[in-house]
Structure 1
Amino acid sequence: MEVDVIVEIPKGSRNKYEYDPRLGRIRLDRMLFTATGYPGDYGFVPDTLAEDGDPIDALLLLTEPTFPGCLVRARVIAVFWVHDTHGPDAKLLCVPATDPRQLHLQELEDVPMHQIAEIWHFFEIYEALAPDKSAETRGWEQRGKAVEALEDARRRFADQRTATTGTEG
Structure 2
Amino acid sequence: MTNFLKLPTKSRNLFRVVVETPRGAAAKLAYDPKTGVFQYSRPLPVGNTYPYDWGFVPSTVGEDGDPLDGMVIHQAATAPGVVIKCDLLGALRVKQKDPHGAVIRNDRYIFCPRKEDAPDKPVAADHLPQDLRQEIEQFFLSSVLGTGKTIKLKGWQDAEKAARSLGKGARAFRRNNR
| TM-score class, shorter | 0.7 to 0.9
The two structures have a TM-score, normalised by structure 1, of 0.87
Q: Where do residues 1-169 of structure 1 align in structure 2 (5 Å cutoff)?
A: 1-84=13-96, 85=98, 87-97=104-114, 98=116, 99-102=118-121, 105-107=124-126, 110-128=127-145, 130-162=146-178
Identity of paired residues, percent? 28
Aligned-partner residue type, residue 100 of structure 1? P
Query: Per-residue deviation at 1:104?
Result: 5.4
RMSD of aligned Cα (Å)? 1.6
Q: Which runs of 5+ in 1 are unaligned?
A: 163-169
The two structures have a TM-score, normalised by structure 2, of 0.83
Q: 1:153 is paired with a residue of what secondary structure?
A: helix
Q: 1:132 to 1:28 in 2, by over 3 A?
A: same
Q: 1:13-35 deviations in whole A, cap 9, x for unaligned?
A: 12100000111111101101242
Query: Per-residue deviation at 1:150?
Result: 0.5
The answer (yes or no) to whether the contact 2:24–2:49 under 8 Å persists in 1 is yes
Q: 1:71 to 1:131 in 2, by over 3 A?
A: closer
The answer (yes or no) to whether the contact 2:18–2:56 under 8 Å persists in 1 is yes
Query: Per-residue deviation at 1:43?
Result: 0.3
The 2-side partners of 1:149 and 1:3 are apart by: 13
Number of residue equivalences: 159
Q: Which runs of 5+ in 2 are unaligned?
A: 1-12
Aligned-partner residue type, residue 128 of structure 2? V
